[in-house]
Amino acid sequence: MASRTGPRPAGTDGSDFRHRERVASHFRMSASRGLAFALGSVALKSEIKKLIYVQVAIWLLLVAQMSVGHLKLLPHDQVAMPYQWEYPYLLSIIPSLFGLMSFPRNNISYLVLSMIGTGLFSVAPLIYGSMEMFPAAQQLYRHGKAYRFIFGFSAVSVMYLVVGVAVQVHAWQLYYSKKLLDSWFTSTQEKKKK
């Protein structure tokens, strides 16, 4: 122990701090990778959450349209009965919930289930719906006749607009989910190597 008045032991005058502040290069690289992973992961999660919320809004609009049509709250000339593709599309909420559940603990299996479910319950019904509505769209385009309406607008036009927005939302959701999955998988592999 050094006294205030006595001699100071060699190397304790504070001049030997430089070697203690150096960090080995492999630790420096690992820390920067970890920071980039954390920032990238947070940004991807944020984008996916926004897309899931838009998808939930589309889902709620379809549920409202289906409820009004089936419960006959408005006449059928105001709100048409739903197309067949809308029923399986209602299951698209399940993959969205798996996606949201995967975020808190970076759960790879939930994210994979979300991606597979999005393909099966979201994208597939939208493709089927675009084929189901095509004859009505062709009739509207060629002859200008529409037989189903949603608040005065042609039902096929409104539903094609919904399909177009939904396809974009799901495509971006799958793209960001794939990037996030790659990021999580890379992080998991790095942890296993250590």
- The full 3-state SS of the chain, as one line of letters, equals CCCCCCCCCCCCCCCCCHHHHCCCHHHHHHHHHHHHHHHHHHHHHHHHHHHHHHHHHHHHHHHHHHHHHHHCCCCCCCECCCCCCHHHHHHHHHHHHHHHHHCCCCCHHHHHHHHHHHHHHHHHHHHHHHHHHHHHHHHHHHHCCCCCEECCEEHHHHHHHHHHHHHHHHHHHHHHHHHHHHHHHHHHHHHHHC
| 123 in Cβ contact with 172 (< 8 Å) | no
Q: Return the pLDDT at 96.
A: 94
CB 51 within 8 A of CB 173: yes
Question: What was the pLDDT predicted at 136?
Answer: 87
The pLDDT-based confidence of 13 (bands split at 50, 70, 90) is low
Q: What is the pLDDT of residues 90-148, one digit of tens each?
A: 999 999 999 999 999 889 999 999 999 999 999 999 999 999 999 888 888 888 888 88
Please give the residue that has the higher pLDDT: either 22 or 170. Answer: 170
Q: How high is the pLDDT of residue 29?
A: 43
Does residue 186 register a pLDDT over 90? Answer: no
